[in-house]
Chains A and B, each alone.
Chain A
């Protein structure tokens, strides 16, 4: 698991630290954390539905915020969780990132929901690079 819960950062909501080997991977690992908070069996999320969207922001934190906001939108409006996230190499340095995804409709019987993520917050939101590896800290409103 490339993320861990931070129990001291927020009692009422869910705080996680996500790690990835590159800027490209941090979005995919973040989606895994997102899924792992919401359902017990994220490994059973399918990949039959393909979507493409853009993430914008002047900083990595802003882009991460926008990324989670888009995941929440697809979950609430289309009942989709994404198992695969793909970002074009190098685009993470731009203000606009193209994100290609594959996922499936939420099947509660199979995925076993735990708790809903209703919003991403800016509280303690950070994306830190160290020797090419990335660590993101995110607090979700649940």
Chain B
């Protein structure tokens, strides 16, 4: 069915921050869709977001309702900021388009014991050093020498593989979701093509909205002093935020399975989808299980990539500041994904079920006590890292009880308001660079046009987005983080 001429839905207001799209909006919807937003953010969302989440609501085995987070914007298949829970025992599916092609794209936050005054005259040197140590942008290859056999090990062992290579510490694994690796990954399920694309990209940042940022914690931006102190956050502190994923290998894994599912979806499994990008397979089918194991490799590739970059960051800081990473207190606070499907137990009505939660551009936000949370954070809730635009800042939050209503999911960023071509037309990259420099943010980018695409006004207001998830009780603010230096692809 084509939905090109869809009108905006008639929403039912569930609460101040939750709006429901009825099943009658699009023929075939099995459950309603719920949008987390305030009125202004809801009005900002384009109709395609609602069309896309309605299509998600039509997939077999979906439970309760599909969800859009307040940073939701149109993508392909699922909207960005889309969440859906499928019951494998009820024919529930797995869909590459519901996870995103950049499998396990995510955020990492590295702490330091530095204060702003310690490095205020070294920002340019640090940013330039990071830019030269970490390949960014199109055609810039990894300097790590990894052969195909090693890549297969990496794909099954993630950060653990990188730490064994000496690119990090055991402690890093305790600050990473899944303790640093997806144990269900099986490298025999990924293609040689995916391996070829991945070989030269471990330890690289990529382009688009991927970045690495030196940030500061201002005293007035700490909202939860108790959690901040517990997690090692303090006023005037310097921290480093990283946003990247599984690079070409992850994209190839998704592409390979979209092609495979496409050939089987209707003929073998009898699943008709409203958008070809939603092709899927029953989770318990052979092809569904194969993709789950291949996706696990994508998860590990992204984790190894972020771990390798973390190693480079530590080396650069150590070289510029002439102290070891230990002496600089460069501990990993947390590494969290926003493009992944995870098997988790959630309450449906009066029963508890194991569900496959698809999060595409949505971060896991786990309430205190949940077993998905690494032990050192479990009592308080999972750290949630939300990357904003390079002009406006980012957030650190903690998972809270309201996330039980969202299958432990929250937003992942601020969400685009302008398409990339619109942003390039309205913003001059070089002027933006100079304007940011005047504001005290030094950016090094592989491309002026790429920089223009990531301007602050291409995105929604991050404060409004985070206010919604905070007020809805999904994730609670810990602190806001402001940029001082940034490298982009």
User: Which residues of A line the B interface, CB within 8 A?
Assistant: 5, 7-15, 38-40, 62, 65-66, 69, 72-73, 75-77, 79, 106, 108, 112-116, 118-125, 139, 141-142
Contact with A along B277-317 (1 / 0, CB 8 A): 10100000000000000000000000000000000000000
B75–A12 contact, CB under 8 A?
yes
Q: How far is the CA of A94 from the CA of B178 in the complex (A)?
A: 47
Asked whether, in the complex, the Cβ of A79 is within 8 Å of the Cβ of B76, the reply is no
Smallest Cβ-Cβ distance to B458: which chain A residue: A11
In-complex Cβ contact of B450 among A9, A115, A125 (8 A): A115
B364 at the interface (CB under 8 A from A): no
Kindly state the separation between the CA atoms of A66 and B252 in the bound complex, as whole angstroms: 12
Name the A residues within 8 Å of B474 (CB-CB). Answer: none
Asked whether A122 lies within 8 Å of B207 as measured between CB atoms, the reply is no
B262 interfacial by beta-carbon distance below 8 Å: yes
Bound-state Cα–Cα, A132 to B259, Å: 28
B279 contact set on A, CB distance < 8 A: 122
Give the residue among B74, B97, B101, B141 with the most A Cβ atoms within 10 A: B74
Question: Does B137 have its Cβ within 8 Å of any Cβ on chain A?
Answer: yes
Task: Given A10-B75, A122-B262, check contact A115 B207 (CB 8 Å).
Answer: yes
Which residues of chain B (36-69) have a CB below 8 Å from chain A? 46, 48
B422: chain A residues at CB < 8 Å are 7
Q: Which residues of B contact A114 (CB under 8 A)?
A: 138, 424, 447, 449-450
Instruction: Tell me the nearest residue of chain A to B417, going by C-beta.
Output: A11
Tell whether, in the assembled complex, residue A142 and residue B449 are in contact, meaning their CB atoms are under 8 Å apart: no
Partner pick for B138 among A9, A62, A115, A141, CB 8 A cutoff: A115
Among the interface residues B197, B206, B255, B446, which one has the most CB atoms of the partner chain A within 10 A? B255
Q: What separation, in Å, do the CA atoms of A116 and B489 have in the docked complex?
A: 9
Question: When each residue 103-146 of chain B gets 1 if its CB lies under 8 Å from chain A and 0 otherwise, what string results?
Answer: 00000000000000000000000000000000001111100000
CA distance A97 to B436 in the complex (A): 49
Contact of B139 with A113 in the complex, beta carbons under 8 Å? yes
Say whether B276 contacts A122, CB under 8 Å.
yes
Whether B74 lies near A73 (C-beta < 8 A) is no
Contacts of B450 in A (CB 8 A): 113-115
Contact of A11 among B201, B275, B418 (CB under 8 A): B418
Q: Does B98 contact A (CB under 8 A)?
A: no
Which residues in B have some Cβ–Cβ distance to A below 8 Å?
Answer: 46, 48, 73-77, 80, 97, 101-102, 137-141, 193, 196-197, 199-201, 206-208, 247-248, 251-252, 254-255, 258-259, 262, 275-277, 279, 361, 416-422, 424, 446-447, 449-450, 453, 489
Cα separation A38 to B139 with both chains bound (whole Å)? 10
Could you tell me if B208 and A142 are in contact, using CB atoms closer than 8 angstroms?
yes
A123 to B96 alpha-carbon distance, docked (Å): 12
- Decide yes or no: A139 and B139 within 8 Å by CB, A7-B419, A125-B276 being known contacts: no
A121 near B277 with CB under 8 A, answer: yes
CA distance A11 to B277 in the complex (A): 16
Instruction: Find out whether the CB atom of B46 lies under 8 angstroms from the CB atom of A121.
Output: no
A31 to chain B, nearest CB (A): 16
Name B's interface SS.
mixed
Sample (28) of A-B pairs whose CB atoms are under 8 Å apart:
A8-B46, A10-B419, A11-B73, A11-B75, A11-B418, A13-B420, A62-B262, A72-B248, A72-B251, A73-B196, A76-B200, A77-B197, A106-B139, A108-B137, A113-B138, A113-B207, A115-B207, A116-B489, A119-B252, A119-B254, A122-B262, A122-B276, A122-B279, A123-B77, A124-B275, A141-B101, A141-B102, A141-B251
B486 → chain A, closest Cβ, in Å?
16
The chain B residue sitting closest to A112, CB to CB, is B447
Q: Contacts A76-B248, A123-B97 given: A116-B76 contact, CB under 8 Å?
A: no
In the bound complex, do residue B101 and residue A11 qualify as a contact, i.e. CB atoms below 8 Å apart?
Answer: no
How far does the alpha carbon of A30 sit from the alpha carbon of B419 in the complex, in Å? 20
Q: Contacts A7-B422, A65-B259, A76-B197 given: A119-B251 contact, CB under 8 Å?
A: yes
Q: Is the CB of A10 within 8 A of B208?
A: no
Determine the distance from Cα of A10 to Cα of B450 in the docked complex, in whole angstroms. 17
Q: Is the CB of A115 within 8 A of B262?
A: no
Minimum C-beta distance from A34 to chain B (A): 12
Contact of A121 among B101, B102, B424, B449 (CB under 8 A): B101
Give Cα A114 to B137, complex, Å: 8
Q: Are B248 and A12 in contact (CB under 8 A)?
A: no
**Is there contact, CB below 8 Å, between A76 and B420?**
no
Is there contact, CB below 8 Å, between A14 and B140? no
Bound Cα distance A6, B480 (Å)? 35
A79 touches B447 (CB 8 A): no
Query: A12-B75, A121-B77 are contacts. A116–B208 as well, Cβ < 8 Å?
Result: yes
Residues of A within 8 A of B139 (CB): 75, 79, 106, 108, 113
Residues of A within 8 Å of B193, CB to CB, are 73
**Residues on B with beta carbons closer than 8 Å to the beta carbon of A65:** 259
The smallest C-beta distance from A123 to any residue of chain B, in angstroms, reads 3
Q: Please tell me which one of the listed residues A5, A40, A123 contacts residue B76 in the complex, with CB atoms under 8 A apart.
A: A123
Complex-state Cα separation, A121 to B80, whole angstroms: 14
With A114-B449, A114-B450: A69-B138 Cβ-Cβ less than 8 Å? no
Would you list the 8 A-B pairs with minimal beta carbon distance, nearest first? A123-B76, A113-B138, A106-B139, A122-B276, A5-B421, A123-B277, A119-B251, A7-B419
Enumerate chain B residues within 8 angstroms of A139, measured Cβ to Cβ. 76
Chain B's nearest CB lies how many Å from the CB of A125? 6
The residue among B80, B419, B424 with the most chain A CB atoms within 10 A of its own CB is B419
Residues of B within 8 A of A66 (CB): 259
Q: Which residues of B contact A14 (CB under 8 A)?
A: 419-421
Provide the bound-state CA to CA distance between A121 and B77, in Å. 9
Rounded to whole angstroms, the CA-CA distance of A32 and B197 in the bound complex is 22
